[in-house]
Amino acid sequence: MRLPSDSPGEAPAGSIGVTWLGHATFLMKSPGGTRIMFDPWLTGNPSCPEKSKKVSGVDLMLITHGHGDHTGDAVAVARSSGATVLAAYELTGWLERQGVKNTRGMNIGGTERFKDLRVTQVQAFHSSSNEENGQQVYLGPATGFILRCDSGDTVYFAGDTGLFGDMKMLRERYAPSIAFLPIGDRFTMGPEDAAIAGEWLGVKRIVPMHYGTFPELTGTPAQLREFCRPRGIDVVELRPGEAAIL
Ligand code: NI
Ligand code: MN
């Protein structure tokens, strides 16, 4: 269900509100009211609406990997909001060296409690690096996140990844009902593999991401919908800046 404003905080208590800021950047409000930001990339993000480029009021920042299109505004938002940052150990170290406080480095398989959420870091099939002092530095594994809310809702945020067989394990272990999946192709899986991912994860709904930002990202929600229809999976297509209740 669409929300009239662009704020996920408009979602009623007990529900999950989400706003897409373009590419892989999302704001989410958990059922318990925790304000979460995923993969903050605002100022350089061609899909991010102008009015959304300044973000305040973030409690928790989840970063899947080090690439610039997922970390571009991590330092700025973490500093201004004081949000707790959960990310791979090497990535939180890189953020700390840029003055970010309140980090909790973690690694795949680990779970951190934050307010009404249990956040588990899970694998992704991708790479993770960024620049430091003019050098390309390795920033740990590329990851995804499983969010288990005290309300009983479970959300999977895949980050950048190709399709992998252990998505079936994620279903068995966590049984998510909603998955945020990349569909742009070239650097991640495309629409057909994302639909197969949805089937393997056992989710009822997919929120597509990581598409439409650059010409190289050719996958579209329309293609995803075609592959999802025979599988009985709904596609929650948002426009950048648009908020919805999940
Ligand atoms: Ni990436
Ligand atoms: Mn990316």
Token readout for 236 is 């929650």
Residue 127 Cα to ligand 2 middle (Å) = 10
Ligand 1 midpoint to CA 235 (Å):
22
Q: Which ligand is nearest to the CA of 210?
A: 2
Q: What is the pLDDT of residue 12?
A: 83
Query: Rounded to the nearest whole angstrom, what is the distance from the C-alpha of residue 52 to the centroid of ligand 1?
Result: 22
Q: What is the pLDDT of residue 4?
A: 64
Q: Which ligand is nearest to the CA of 127?
A: 1
H/E stretch holding 95: helix 89-96
Proximal ligand: closest to the CA of 130: 1
8-240 fold: Metallo-beta-lactamase; Chain A (3.60.15)
C-alpha 175 – ligand 2 centre gap (Å): 25
14 CA → ligand 2 middle, Å: 31
Please give the Cα distance from 96 to 76 (Å, whole number). 12
Return the pLDDT at 75: 98
pLDDT of residue 56: 85
Q: How far is the CA of 187 from the centre of ligand 2 (A)?
A: 7
Rounded distance from Cα 235 to ligand 2 centre (Å): 20
pTM, whole model, 2 decimals? 0.97
148-185 b/e (C-beta count within 10 Å ≥ 16 → b): bbeeebbbbbbbbbebbeebeebbeebebbbbbbbbbb
Q: Give me the tens of pLDDT residue by residue for the chain, a chain 246 residues long.
A: 776 667 787 788 889 999 999 999 999 999 999 999 999 999 999 999 999 999 889 999 999 999 999 999 999 999 999 999 999 999 999 999 999 999 999 999 999 999 999 999 999 999 999 999 999 999 999 999 999 999 999 999 999 999 999 999 999 999 999 999 999 999 999 999 999 999 999 999 999 999 999 999 999 999 999 999 999 999 999 999 999 999
Q: Mark 48-85 as b/e (b = at least 16 C-beta within 10 Å).
A: bbeebeebeebbbbbbbbbbebbbbbbbbbbeebebbb
If you measure from the C-alpha of residue 95 to the centroid of ligand 2, how many angstroms do you get, rounded to a whole number? 18
User: Rounded to the nearest whole angstrom, what is the distance from the C-alpha of residue 67 to the centroid of ligand 1?
Assistant: 5
From ligand 2's centre to the CA of 70, what distance in Å? 6
The answer to whether the CB of 21 falls within 8 A of the CB of 39 is no
Q: What's the gap in Å between 203 CA and the centre of ligand 2?
A: 23
